Amino acid sequence: MKLQAIQRRMARAVMTPLTPAERMRNVSPRGRSMHAEASSFIKANDRLTSFERLEIYNRQYWFRMLSAMTDDFPGLRAVLGDRSFDALSKAYLRDCPSTSFTLRNLGSKLEAWIRKHPRYAATRQQLAIDMVRLEWADIEAFDGESLPPLQAENLTNANPATLRLKLQPYARLLDLRYPVDDLLLAVKGKNQDDADFASNAFSEKHRRKRVAAVARLKPAPIFLVVHRADYFVYFRRIEREEFHILSALRAGKTLERAIGGAFRGSTIPVEERAGNVAQWFHSWSALGWFCLSGN
Amino acid sequence: MPANRFNNFTDYGIGIGLRATHYDHILTRKPVCDWFEIISENFMVDGGRPLEILDRILQQYRVVQHGVSMYFGSADKIDREHLRRLKALVQRTNTPWLSDHLCWGSVDGRYTHDLLPMPYTFEAAKITAQKIREVRDYLEIPLVVENVSSYAEFHVSEMTEWEFLNEVVERADCGILLDVNNIYVSSQNHSFDPEVYVNSIPADRVAQIHIAGHSKYRKYILDTHDHPVIDPVWKLYDRAIQRAGHTATLLEWDDHIPTFNEVHDEALKADKFLASASLATAV
């Protein structure tokens, strides 16, 4: 048997889902006896059958993958509960096995997969999607690229009609239907008392609520920037208009067009808008969200 | 033979694996440690805290890169994005040599993230050696391959594990990261004499040695890196040092990780074997 053929057979067996008792299945998804399959390419020894030797790798694979999912998506687990999260993770991994050399990317297709398979999130599909988007943004913001921040002197004589500001590649913009930032912070046990300028300490009343209570979130649209300061990831809530300006800038629009389009349908009084924009740009610049080049 | 072309003519002593749980201790206390081994994949990112930590470590310590997913033995082609990121990291760390495992773990672009055992065939040795050469040519640093622990053997194997290792490193002209704990684990799982293995490897190709602990189950041993090194493994280490001379040695501890000092103290037990090897060389 050639190398590639052996590797395909072993990988197929190793990646086959375990039984509910976390053992290797007796019958493969193709209907073949796994005992016969294992015996066909793996030797038995004086203590273990071919099946038992292959099972060691089968179990290790699933324990490793499920552990990675639990590490990366604690918020989704809180939303769904342990059993549903486990079922969702197994189904996702069966459909979307890792295609990257790093486990960091294991959950990169999870949002799209949940959209296609809503039954795994039952009545909480939108909440689950919002949480997955936030948790994936958290991963991307943690180790995303950082470029030199824009300085005031870089803008000397800049014309708003032609100026295109770039956002830091690590910053992620999210429009969410549920306030899942609260939930994720609670799940992660982050101490919101430490919240400062970089994070928004917006909801003091929620601080001591238990995760279980927060998991029953009601819809309440929010806009977030998942960003980084001093190498730590923060979730900063922003106004709808801020979100539109930043999204337009990320899409490559000029400063003038980005601001011009941000206030359509806005409830912010016209006379306050200029002051708001100045304040927002001051905050964004102080947080280093603009950079010289890239994205 | 403390330094050879496979470890870039360095004379590193005893190191430990760099683990997140020890970051704070290392960066604030700055303990004496000859070198750290990093898992390359943990730092093959675009930015953020992983690289910031790494840069701070590099200001104080020597670092050697150890990979877990190059899969030299996979029939798949080399992932060019993986190589590109790995080369960027090599340039950042200035690692004198780079190690990864003599195993496979992906096929048709799907990754198991495990160190799966090779069928010990001449075809597999040829494919593996060719990939090692390709990676070395791209990275432009010495490569060494590590023997893995295994729990299964293939009917198609045409030679022993150590014969396969020798076949690969001769064909690739690369070095060996000899993991004596892995030899012990596999010897128990496959009923061979581990000393025969250690005595059979080409000592002049050994660039580095790994030591570690493992977990014993009723019918097999699992390579868990969560215990101190046991005496039979130290015995194999002693034999390896007698054959290869004073060699860069690293303790792996990846689960239930104790304090930095406990891990480092366990690693430093290798000192007495290295000292006797140095004495023997001097005599």
- In a shared domain, residues A151 and A48: no
Lowest average pLDDT, out of A92-96, A137-141, A184-188, B64-68, goes to A184-188
A98 CA: distance to closest CA in chain B (Å): 5
**Which of B49, B127, B155 is the closest to A43 by Cβ?**
B155
| Beta carbons of B114 and A61 less than 8 Å apart | yes
The tens digit of pLDDT for each residue in A216-248 reads 789 999 999 999 999 999 999 999 999 999 999
Pairing of strands B143-146, B175-179: parallel
- In a shared domain, residues A128 and A164: no
Domain that holds residue A110: 3-140
Residue A185 is assigned to a structural domain of this protein: no
Residues from chain B contacting residue A169 (CB–CB below 8 Å): 46
Mean local confidence (pLDDT), A151-174: 90
Which of the four pLDDT bands, split at 50, 70 and 90, describes residue A151?
confident
Task: Say if residues A225 and A238 touch (Cβ distance below 8 Å).
Answer: yes
Task: Say if residues B263 and B16 touch (Cβ distance below 8 Å).
Answer: yes
- In a shared domain, residues A166 and A67: no
- In a shared domain, residues A94 and A113: yes
Tell me the C-alpha distance between B118 and B186, whole Å. Answer: 13
**Which of B116, B124, B219 is the closest to A10 by Cβ?**
B116
Residue A13 is assigned to a structural domain of this protein: yes
Residue A195 is assigned to a structural domain of this protein: no
Per-residue DSSP letter, B150: -
For residue B50, give the H/E element and its range. Answer: helix B49-60
| pLDDT in the model for residue B2 | 61
Exposed/middle/buried for residue B141 (C-beta within 10 Å: 0-12, 13-18, 19+): middle
| Beta carbons of A99 and B110 less than 8 Å apart | yes
Indicate whether A279 pLDDT > 70: yes
| pLDDT in the model for residue A156 | 79
- Residue A171, both tokens: 């910053």
The tens digit of pLDDT for each residue in B124-159 reads 999 999 999 999 999 999 999 999 999 999 999 999
Tell me the C-alpha distance between A55 and A225, whole Å. Answer: 44
Which of the four pLDDT bands, split at 50, 70 and 90, describes residue A154?
confident
Question: Does A280 contact B at CB distance below 8 Å?
Answer: no
- In a shared domain, residues A168 and A134: no
Tell me the C-alpha distance between B129 and B126, whole Å. Answer: 5
The tens digit of pLDDT for each residue in B220-277 reads 999 999 999 999 999 999 999 999 999 999 999 999 999 999 999 999 999 999 988 7
Exposed/middle/buried for residue A120 (C-beta within 10 Å: 0-12, 13-18, 19+): buried
Tell me the C-alpha distance between B177 and B143, whole Å. Answer: 9
Task: Say if residues A16 and A28 touch (Cβ distance below 8 Å).
Answer: yes
Residue A189 is assigned to a structural domain of this protein: no
| Beta carbons of B48 and A231 less than 8 Å apart | yes
Question: Does A19 contact B at CB distance below 8 Å?
Answer: no
DSSP A26-63: SB-TTS-BHHHHHHHHB---SS--HHHHHHHHHHHHHH
Task: Say if residues B162 and B200 touch (Cβ distance below 8 Å).
Answer: yes
- In a shared domain, residues A161 and A266: yes
Using a pLDDT cut of 70, give the percent of chain B over it: 98
Question: Does A170 contact B at CB distance below 8 Å?
Answer: yes
CB pairs under 8 A between A and B: 128
- In a shared domain, residues A154 and A135: no
Question: Does A53 contact B at CB distance below 8 Å?
Answer: yes
| Beta carbons of A41 and B104 less than 8 Å apart | no
Model's pTM, two decimal places?
A: 0.92
Which of the four pLDDT bands, split at 50, 70 and 90, describes residue A201?
very low
SS3 label, residue B146: strand
Residues from chain A contacting residue B103 (CB–CB below 8 Å): none
Exposed/middle/buried for residue A46 (C-beta within 10 Å: 0-12, 13-18, 19+): exposed
Write down the H helix ranges in A96-149. Answer: 110-116, 125-143
- In a shared domain, residues A66 and A132: yes
- In a shared domain, residues A163 and A275: yes
Q: Which CATH architecture has domain B5-282?
A: Alpha-Beta Barrel (3.20)
Residue from A177, A192, A164, A153 nearest A259 by CA: A164
∠ CA(B149), CA(A100), CA(B113), 5° rounding?
20
> Model ipTM?
0.95
Residues from chain A contacting residue B46 (CB–CB below 8 Å): 143-145, 169-170
Domain count within chain A = 2
Tell me the C-alpha distance between A62 and A93, whole Å. Answer: 9
Tell me the C-alpha distance between B248 and B11, whole Å. Answer: 7
Question: Does A24 contact B at CB distance below 8 Å?
Answer: no
| pLDDT in the model for residue A189 | 85
Question: Does A96 contact B at CB distance below 8 Å?
Answer: no
B203 CA: distance to closest CA in chain A (Å): 28
- In a shared domain, residues A173 and A261: yes
- In a shared domain, residues A270 and A131: no
Residue A204 is assigned to a structural domain of this protein: no
Indicate whether B86 pLDDT > 80: yes
Domain boundary among A111, A140, A169: A140
Mean local confidence (pLDDT), B275-280: 76
Residue A64 is assigned to a structural domain of this protein: yes
Pairing of strands B35-39, B14-17: parallel
- In a shared domain, residues A110 and A169: no
Residue A9 is assigned to a structural domain of this protein: yes
A167 CA: distance to closest CA in chain B (Å): 15
Per-residue DSSP letter, A27: B
- For residue A47, what is the nearest residue in chain B, using CA coordinates? B219
Which residue type is seen at A229?
A
What's the length of chain A? Answer: 295
| pLDDT in the model for residue B281 | 65
